Amino acid sequence: MDKFEKLSGIAAPMPLVNIDTDMIIPKVFLKTIKRSGLGANLFDEMRFDREGNEIEDFVLNQPAYRDAQILVTGDNFGCGSSREHAPWSLADFGIKAIVSTSFADIFYNNCFKNGILPIVLPQDAVDVLMKDAEKGSNARMDVDLVEQTVTTSDGEVFTFEVDSFKKHCLLEGLDDIGLTMEKASAIDAFEAKAAALRPWA
């Protein structure tokens, strides 16, 4: 998993509330266990019509937001079923940070395990960021995980809270496998000791 320290990117405004995991990645695309390739189907039912043509007015289909790395969203983002394919598809598309007033718990935790920073801010702050995101590709938003700040294109700064352990994992690029590998020497020592004490096992 890539380390996350600072991000300067285009923010796409998605003011809808209760965007659930089935809207993020419809269930028909859950047949794979690969993390790659799902970005093509991110928000599939909102991005494409039944013939597979792009819906022009959907925000991520608009030229200004095709390379967005940040989403500014409505309340309760990522609700619904607990499919990890949702953050997989967001990450594969290129989304690295999401700002909302609240997230569903399982989705929120899955984001950190997949290199995405979910940022919780009060409604008034999200309103400012949403308006800033509406300026398009010329307005780049800055996210600093070290300082725990989001800065608008006009220089207005908002501070967010984040669990210290989750912050450490993102800064160091550690998913669950990475965390386990940090303990590799201790695991090897335990296995060697166990083998010596119980050679028959």
Q: Is the pLDDT of residue 187 over 80?
A: no
What's the mean per-residue pLDDT of the chain?
A: 91
Q: Is the pLDDT of residue 178 over 70?
A: no
Residue 34, pLDDT score: 78
Cα(157)–Cα(103) distance, rounded to whole angstroms?
21
Residue 43, pLDDT score: 98
Cα(151)–Cα(95) distance, rounded to whole angstroms?
17
Left if phi > 0, otherwise alpha if psi is -120 to 50, otherwise beta: which for 94?
left
Intra-chain end-to-end CA distance of the chain, in Å = 35
pTM of the model: 0.87
